[in-house]
Amino acid sequence: MVPAQPTPYKRLTYADYCQIPDDGKRHEIIDGIHYVSPAPRYIHQQIIVNLAGILNIWVKAQKSGIVLVAPFDVLLSDFDIVQPDVLFISNENRGILNEKNATGAPDIAIEVLSPSNPNHDRELKFGRYERFGVKEYWIIDPQTENVSVYCLIQGHYQKSFSLLNEQDDTLTSTLLPGIEIRLNDIFYMP
């Protein structure tokens, strides 16, 4: 993912974002800079479908909130509009949700790394999610079949755990008490 505008630049806002034509690519504005990425690959999308399906079934059964997938706009600020691959908004935080977007930090943001630019999620979005108060940030690496979970503690992310899909490990979450997701189910490729 590369910035779509040269520097020096005018910091773009949500109003500017709304003027971007729908071209089938993924558009985000981070700290006022417009980023564009191509449509994701098969493995990326399959992981999202696997994980979102598991989360959605569990969240519905618990009646604990809502699970959404990209493309769905999350307005962290007027200069920060992102589209997490998967997000969870708890019932307590549901006030950020409206018909068009979420205006505030979701409880959980999940990103599946793209091979073309993994640092976009590991660094740039990591810093934004941390700054704007996303309570848990999950980073999924399809290449290594690794899942890292970061929890926001006193305004900073601390790595809660990192799992490899080798020993039938299960993913848990402090925000979804009782959930156990087998990594094999996340990385399953039909």
Return the pLDDT at 39: 82
* Residue in 158, 160, 130 with CA at minimum distance from that of residue 147: 160
* pLDDT tens track for 41-95: 999 999 999 999 999 999 999 999 999 999 999 999 999 999 999 999 999 999 9
Q: What share of the chain in percent tops pLDDT 90?
A: 82
Find the radius of gyration of the CA atoms of the chain. Answer: 16
Given pLDDT bands bounded at 50, 70 and 90, which one contains residue 9?
Answer: low
Q: Is the peptide bond before 115 cis (omega within 30 degrees of 0)?
A: no
| Neighbouring residues of 35: CB distance < 8 A, sequence distance ≥ 6 | 1, 2, 3, 4, 27, 28, 29, 120
Phi and psi at residue 56, to the nearest 5°: -65, -45
SS3 call for 75: strand
Right CATH for 40-186 from 3.90.1570.10, 3.40.980.10, 3.20.20.140, 3.30.365.10: 3.90.1570.10
Number of Cβ within a 10 Å radius of residue 163:
17
Return the pLDDT at 6: 53
Q: Decide if pLDDT at 4 tops 60.
A: no
Q: DSSP string covering 7-40, please?
A: SS-PPP-HHHHTTS---SSEEEEETTEEEEEPPP
Residue of higher predicted confidence among 39 and 134: 134
Token look-up 């996303």 returns: 134
Start-to-end CA span in the chain (Å): 28
Q: Is the peptide bond before 8 cis (omega within 30 degrees of 0)?
A: yes
Q: Decide if pLDDT at 25 tops 90.
A: no
Q: Are 31 and 125 in contact (CB under 8 A)?
A: no
* Residue in 40, 42, 41 with CA at minimum distance from that of residue 190: 42
* pLDDT tens track for 109-145: 999 998 878 888 999 999 999 999 999 999 999 999 9
Annotated domain spans of the chain: 40-186
* pLDDT tens track for 146-184: 999 999 999 999 999 898 888 778 999 999 999 999 999
> What is the pTM for the complete model shown?
0.93
